Amino acid sequence: MVKRRMGASCFNRFWTRISMKVTQVDLNAVRSAVCAVTDPEYPDLTIQQLGILENVVADSEGIRVDLVPTISGCPALQTIEQDVRSAAEACGYEIKVRFCSSPVWTPDRISDDARIFLAKEYSVAIRPKSGSVECPICGKSSLQHRSDVGPTACRSVEWCPDCRNPIEVVRSRRQPSDG
């Protein structure tokens, strides 16, 4: 194993040097496999749909997968990394995984279909860059902030006085609640 320094914007990770040349066909196969990796918390959604997957590239040392954590210290990162490695290994490659702090993950990275699914299946709202959050249950925009501390570090809890439900709201590490 070779320890590599990844630079200021990425966490250091151990990885195995790959001795074979990567073809475009191989890279596309690995990219497709990695794009299909699901999120441990929302197993019906992929890390690509949630905006966690930044890049799958071939460099002089093999294939590198760049991931953008939703929040520093997310407990799911280790599971996601293992699942990404397993997906690549199923294609015959060992890969280098890099967790990047730049670009910063924001809820804007979540795809439109994932937003709809989160609202419909999990009653989870996504905090927009500006404006109010719409309740995924009744559609009203009158949510009241209750707590920055939600079931995970990337979600806060709000209350909808119209339908009288607690609502989880996905937020960014750099985007405090509108409280």
Residue 22 — very low, low, confident or very high, per pLDDT cuts 50/70/90? low
Contact 170, 154 (CB under 8 A): yes
Plot region of 51 (φ>0 → left; ψ -120 to 50 → alpha; else → beta): left
Q: For residue 158, give its domain range.
A: 107-170
Whether 61 maps to a domain, the answer reads yes
| DSSP character at residue 102 | S
Could you report the per-residue pLDDT of 148-165, keeping only the tens digit for each?
888 888 889 999 999 999
Could you report the per-residue pLDDT of 53-66, keeping only the tens digit for each?
999 998 778 899 99
Pick from 68, 99, 130: which residue ends a domain?
99
Whether 79 maps to a domain, the answer reads yes
Report the distance separating Cα 82 and Cα 30, nearest Å.
14
Q: Looking at the structure, do residues 94 and 7 belong to the same domain, yes or no?
A: yes
Contact 113, 155 (CB under 8 A): no
pLDDT the model gives residue 9 = 42
Whether 178 maps to a domain, the answer reads no
pLDDT the model gives residue 173 = 58
Q: Looking at the structure, do residues 52 and 89 belong to the same domain, yes or no?
A: yes
